[in-house]
Amino acid sequence: MVLSDLLQNIIGGVTVGATYGLIGLGVVFLWQSIERINFANISSAMLAAYLFYTFYTQLHLGFLVAFVVSIAIIAAYGLALRHLVLEPINRHGGDKLEFVVATLMLCTFWLSVVKVLYGGIAKPFPPVFGEATSFVQIGSISIPSVYFWIFFVVLVLVLVLYVLLQRTMIGKMFRATAQNKEMASLVGINVGMTTSLAFMLSTSIVGIAGILLAPIYFVSLDLGGGPIGVKGFAAAVMGGLIDPLGTILGGLSIGLIENFSTLFISSAYKDVISFVVLVVVLVWKPRGIFNWTTKGD
Amino acid sequence: MKKALVMLMVVALFAGVLGFTPVRAAEGAIVQITIGSTKATINSKAVVLDQPPLIESGRTLVPFRFIGEAIGAQIGWNPAKKSVSYVLGNKNIVLTIGSVTAIVNGVKTTLDVAPKILPTGRTVVPIRFISESIGAKVDWNATTRMVTVTVAAAKPSWSTPIKIVLSAPFTGSGSILGTYCKGGAQLAVDEINAAGGVNGAKLDLITYDDQANASTAATVVRRALDSDKAVAIFGPNMSAAVLGVHALAQQAKVPMLVGATSPSLRYDTTHNDYLFRLRADDGVKVAQQVKYIVEILKAKKPGIILGSDDYCTSALAVAKQAFEKYGIKIVDIESMKEGDKDVTAQVTKLKNAGIDVLVGLTHEPEAAVVMLKVRQLKLAVPIVGFSAWGVPAFTDLAGDAAIGVISVQGFNPADTDPTVKKFVDAYKAKWGMEPSDPAQCYYDGVYLLKKAIETAGSTDPVKIDEALKTVEYTGVQGLMKCDALHNFTNICYISQFNGKTWKVISKIP
Amino acid sequence: MANILETKALTKRFGGIVANRGINLAIEQGKTTGLIGPNGSGKSTFINQISGMFPPTSGSILFEGEEISRKPACEIASMGIARTFQRIQLFGHLNVVENVLVSRCKFMRASALDIALGTARVRHEEKAQFDKAMEFLGIVGLDGDAWKLPSNLPYGKRRALEIARALALEPLLLLLDEPAAGMTKEEFVEILRIMEILKERKITMLLVEHTMEFIRKAVDRVYVLNFGEVIAQGSFEEIERNKAVISAYLGDENE
Ligand SMILES: Nc1ncnc2c1ncn2[C@@H]1O[C@H](COP(=O)(O)OP(=O)(O)OP(=O)(O)O)[C@@H](O)[C@H]1O
Ligand SMILES: [Mg+2]
């Protein structure tokens, strides 16, 4: 094992890990705002990728148009989620558990819908982030150009989210609503509006992630469930469900653990090892491993 | 007493001459006679003629009653007109002694040689004319001076269409395969129907979506058996689905012809007389893949990248055995899961293990993920992938990264064999796309079924099943014949991807 | 002087319990109105209805002449009614100044587009609101604790923070539900000081309290509830002498 091999694996682990983190951000955002876990979180990634594929590859719209339209639809979908899933559940006296069950079913629903409409076979993603086989050579290390896009967008998204949640009024409204809807309402926050915004932002973030990830994941059902969904959720849990930065770091840790367990132990035990680590973290630090501040209640 | 004995001998003699049971038209017959000999055979049974065949003006003449009865025709004799008549099925032939004019189905025809009465009192007629007029085939062997008349089994004509069912995935992860299954089967059905069907009956192909899922496939197969009363079922195409449903076909005694490739569907495992396989199974393909790696590439240190499901692991089992037979040790096996998108660590390890060939035993998307990483990390060894590495679902995703990959394929549309080309062209003309594995096997399968129904002379599924075990048919996949494992073919290709098509390196067998 | 708030026959039932029965109550502009009564007499229920936490069973609530009994809480808050809770309620994950800042949302004028683009206008506005929040913290003496989490504050300061958050809404009417409950002597003094400031600022208040000393000092007029009904009203001195009130309390609340 030479140094360049190690670096190469760190880059691989970090990129895939960042993708888990991105997906986790969607979870965090909704939790931050309404304290609900959307198990159909990952569906937004798949839907956005297929929408973008439809607009860009099939309908030949430009990159920007295809991107904006796809994300707008995904945001509208977020709004629909609130009004067609969350509100009816609340009206009928349902709570967190009911929402979990409903969104779990929704996840399967979207997988079947996409299967029916597009077939189950993975489609190549148009090379909008550079050809899949274009690599940037740095010494003896070679990095696919799409990796740079992923790093860049993850960085920007984390920054934007961090500023939004921590530094802006909207962010405070979100966080206040998340903690105590009744009281938020009593200080004049329009809880209905923040809830809608939270849903739209959550689905949009994951939608952007979906389009960004499609060069690696292809336009495939893998973007709508399976390992990425679970690991994105795991990343969010490592971020204590509230910390965007912690979530990204959580995702990176999972990506690196996967790579290094393959490299130094065995590829056969990769998933076992990562999930053992996750369970240990959950038991040991249920509020997230990167819980910088002590939170009150 | 002596008189009685003579009588007995006369009777025996008579029996020898006339004692063959006239064959029934439907059954067909092969009649062999030799010029100048009274010995003849009907369906390999010896008979004795009262008058040896003779040649006149290059035409063989035989006793008129013998040939009529041998081919199963009704024979008439009109002493007044001195005319002989034969009726077989809807054919009607009238000959007149001493006249070269004959009437076939009411139409006057001229003979080369007229029927005549020999000095012995026997009436003889030209055998070729009679035989060919009723649709039998006549062969002449000059050295043995033997004439063989083959009367094909009369073709019963069925008025109702023959129902066959195709169970294939049209939704779900295997949906593209369903398109190919149906494309191949429907093309064959349409061709057959356009050419008059099977014994005059049209084939009716009913297609159901089994979602590549065993429980849906079970519903489909039950429907095919119970309500459609299909005479044969094509598919499912997914091995796991076939495992779940083939017993239903066995119970109902209806043949099931599948393109599923798991070695676990071989007859020695299933013992299902009603289950047949229409393309080479995975065991055969992996063995050929290893053979190519060892004998042609002369690789000594193979490394394997392995998927996690049954398709991949059963391929690994065969590959391990095959390498072992050559005394070659696999230096590294790295596994990945379906859905994995980063194999940096696996490829790094394979590279560091010093492999001289990478054997890919994964599904299509994983193959693409591996190849992108192989190119990124510059693992510069030949890549020889399993069947999933030889289809568009892989090359579309991998793009340029797939160039140079060698794969073992069940079908290669770039094969220049005329039968393959004809099929590929017809498929393209009909569906506007190139066929891919398994389209060819369902195409061949429908033709095989046609032949089996014709051979059985029946649409009884049990009889079709019997016929399937014996018929031979040369189709897109070459000679198809049911072997001891109930596989119709072991054909496969070793091909290399050049960025556009797969160049055939070798075609086996 | 005009009444800022009037209730007419306000009634709230919880199943069999009638927590408020036909309450007619008026709060005069600029004055502090007291609401007293034994435990479970329906004081908090009354405040909850006015602040919009739940709608009344029957009757009406007129705020500046407008019927508000069916309006959502956030709208009532925006119209100018703020409150504190008997059991202190703060946003635990938000720091002290953020707890106050959330009340300033309704003063933000930037459009959604401004916010999305993070324009200078938004940044300017947010800075202005931050300064305002610090100002309210200053009033209750919490400007030194702005970056702490509420859980790190002593009890008395948490109560002060709750009041600051309510004040930050710049309310026309402030509803205080037992602000002095559970306080130490020193904390009690601090609350009294805050009350003085509020009175100086002429903020109209409805004060629910058990502490008679507090009531005596703070209120202009008192309503007495018993079993959900108003049994007396008037100045504190009048109420003190009222027989019905004395018997309702049975002398158990006289410190
Ligand atoms: N949400 C509710 N559901 C059911 N009953 C309630 C509810 N809120 C209050 N009550 C009941 O209504 C009655 C009045 O309660 P309330 O809290 O208004 O009294 P209070 O005067 O504030 O008492 P305290 O001095 O103890 O704070 C009580 O019997 C209480 O149990
Ligand atoms: Mg109370």
Residue B153 has pLDDT above 70, yes or no: no
Residue B305 has pLDDT above 90, yes or no: yes
Q: What is the pLDDT of residue C50?
A: 93
| Record: contact A176-C102, CB cut-off 8 A | yes
Q: What is the pLDDT of residue A1?
A: 62
Alpha helices (H) along C12-154: 43-51, 73-79, 96-101, 112-117, 120-139
Residue B49 has pLDDT above 90, yes or no: no
CA of B399 to nearest chain A CA: how many angstroms apart?
8
Any chains having at least 3 CB pairs less than 8 A from chain A are B, C
pLDDT band at B390 (very low <50, low <70, confident <90, very high): confident
Residue B394 has pLDDT above 50, yes or no: yes
Give the residue-averaged pLDDT of B324-349. Answer: 88
| Record: contact C115-A175, CB cut-off 8 A | no
Of all residues in chain B, what percent carry a pLDDT higher than 90?
11
Q: What is the pLDDT of residue C48?
A: 93
Q: What does the alpha-carbon distance between residue A38 and residue A101 come to, in Å, rounded to a whole number?
A: 9
List, in sequence order, every residue forming a beta bridge with B232; answer none if it has no partner.
B164
Q: What does the alpha-carbon distance between residue C9 and residue C20 come to, in Å, rounded to a whole number?
A: 9
Between the CA of C100 and the centroid of ligand 2 the distance, in Å, is: 24
Of all residues in chain B, what percent carry a pLDDT higher than 70?
92
CA of A70 to nearest chain C CA: how many angstroms apart?
18
Between the CA of C246 and the centroid of ligand 1 the distance, in Å, is: 21
Question: DSSP string of B472-496?
Answer: EEEETTEEEE--TTSBS---EEEEE
Q: What is the pLDDT of residue B12?
A: 44
- If you search the block for the tokens 């055995």, which residue do you land on? B321
| Record: contact A217-B335, CB cut-off 8 A | no
Q: What is the pLDDT of residue B17?
A: 38
| Record: contact A226-B339, CB cut-off 8 A | yes
Q: What is the pLDDT along chain A (297 residues), one digit of tens a residue?
A: 678 888 888 988 898 888 888 899 888 888 877 788 888 889 999 999 999 999 998 898 888 999 999 999 999 999 999 899 888 888 888 788 888 888 889 988 998 888 888 877 788 888 878 777 788 888 888 888 888 888 888 888 888 877 877 778 888 888 888 788 888 888 888 888 888 888 898 899 999 989 988 888 888 888 888 778 888 888 888 888 877 788 888 899 888 988 888 888 887 787 788 778 778 877 777 666 665 444 433
Q: Is C41 in the pocket of ligand 1 (CB under 6 A)?
A: yes
Q: Are strands B101-104 and B39-42 parallel, antiparallel or unpaired?
A: unpaired
Q: Which atom of ligand 1 is nearest to the CA of C20?
A: 14
Residue C243 has pLDDT above 80, yes or no: no
List, in sequence order, every residue forming a beta bridge with B334; answer none if it has no partner.
B305
List, in sequence order, every residue forming a beta bridge with C207; answer none if it has no partner.
C34, C176
By mean pLDDT, which of A16-25, B164-173, C27-36 is the weakest? Answer: B164-173
Phi, psi at B321, each rounded to 5°: -60, -45
Residues 6+ positions from C243 with CB-CB distance below 8 Å: none
Q: What is the pLDDT of residue B447?
A: 92
Question: DSSP string of B253-302?
Answer: T--EEE----GGGSHHHH--TTEEE-S--HHHHHHHHHHIIIIIS--SSE
Give the residue-averaged pLDDT of B206-230. Answer: 84
Q: What is the pLDDT of residue B16?
A: 38
Contact list in C for residue A68 (CB cut-off 8 A) is none
Asked if residues A22 and A151 have their Cβ atoms less than 8 Å apart, the reply is no
Q: What is the pLDDT of residue C44?
A: 93
Q: If we measure between CA atoms, which residue out of B303, B291, B275, B269 comes closest to residue B381?
A: B303
Q: What is the pLDDT of residue B9?
A: 46
Give the residue-averaged pLDDT of C36-43. Answer: 89
Task: Give the nearest chain A residue to B172 (CA atoms).
Answer: A120
Helix axis angle for B310-325 and B239-252, nearest 10°, is 100
Residue B6 has pLDDT above 50, yes or no: no
By mean pLDDT, which of A63-67, B6-10, B71-75 is the weakest? Answer: B6-10
pLDDT band at C114 (very low <50, low <70, confident <90, very high): low
Hey, whose CA ends up nearest to atom 4 of ligand 1?
Answer: C14
Q: Is C103 in the pocket of ligand 1 (CB under 6 A)?
A: no
For residue C210, give the ligand nearest its CA.
Answer: 1
Mutate to test the pocket of ligand 1, among C11, C12, C36, C44 (most ligand atoms within 8 A of CB): C44
Q: B345 — contact with chain A (CB < 8 Å)?
A: yes
pLDDT in tens, C211-241: 888 888 888 899 999 888 898 888 888 888 8
Q: If we measure between CA atoms, which residue out of C76, C27, C35 comes closest to residue C52?
A: C76
Interface test with chain B among A121, A221, A270, by most B beta carbons within 10 Å: A121
Q: If we measure between CA atoms, which residue out of A268, A222, A223, A202 comes closest to residue A30?
A: A202
- Could you give all domains of chain C from N- to C-terminal order, each with its CATH number? 1-80+171-255 (3.40.50.300), 90-165 (no CATH)
Q: Is C45 in the pocket of ligand 1 (CB under 6 A)?
A: yes
Residue B174 has pLDDT above 80, yes or no: no
- A53-A59-A62 Cα angle (round to 5): 80
Contact list in A for residue B497 (CB cut-off 8 A) is none
Question: DSSP string of A44-104?
Answer: HHHHHHHHHHIIIIIS---HHHHHHHHHHHHHHHHHHHIIIIIHHHHHTT--HHHHHHHHH
Cis geometry, peptide bond prior to residue B392 (ω within 30 degrees of 0): no
Give the residue-averaged pLDDT of C159-164. Answer: 92
Q: What is the pLDDT of residue B20?
A: 38
At B402 the three-state DSSP class reads helix
- Could you give all domains of chain B from N- to C-terminal order, each with its CATH number? 10-151 (3.30.457.10), 162-280 (3.40.50.2300), 283-409 (3.40.50.2300)
Q: What is the pLDDT of residue B102?
A: 87
Q: Is B258 left (phi over 0), alpha (psi -120 to 50) or beta?
A: beta
The pair of three-digit structure tokens given for residue C105, joined into one six-digit string: 């949302």
List, in sequence order, every residue forming a beta bridge with B406; answer none if it has no partner.
B384, B496
Topology of the domain covering A3-284: ABC transporter involved in vitamin B12 uptake, BtuC (1.10.3470)
Q: Which atom of ligand 1 is nearest to the CA of C54?
A: 1
The pair of three-digit structure tokens given for residue C68, joined into one six-digit string: 């508000």
Cis geometry, peptide bond prior to residue B126 (ω within 30 degrees of 0): no
Domain boundary assignment for chain A: 3-284
Q: What is the pLDDT of residue A73?
A: 96
| Record: contact A267-B376, CB cut-off 8 A | no
Q: What does the alpha-carbon distance between residue B248 and residue B241 come to, in Å, rounded to a whole number?
A: 12
Q: What is the pLDDT of residue B24?
A: 40
Residues 6+ positions from B463 with CB-CB distance below 8 Å: B456, B457
Sheet holding B74-78, edge to edge: B74-78, B83-88, B91-96, B101-104, B107-110
CA of C69 to nearest chain A CA: how many angstroms apart?
14
Whether B contacts C, i.e. 3 or more CB pairs less than 8 A apart, is no
A53-56 long-range contacts (CB < 8 A, ≥24 apart) are A53/A123, A53/A125, A53/A126, A53/A214, A53/A219, A56/A126, A56/A128
Whether A contacts B, i.e. 3 or more CB pairs less than 8 A apart, is yes
Any chains having at least 3 CB pairs less than 8 A from chain B are A
Of A168, A182, A188, the CB nearest to C78: A188
Residues of chain A numbered 239-258 and touching chain B (CB < 8 Å): 255, 258
The mean of the pLDDT values for chain B is 83
Q: Is C16 in the pocket of ligand 1 (CB under 6 A)?
A: no
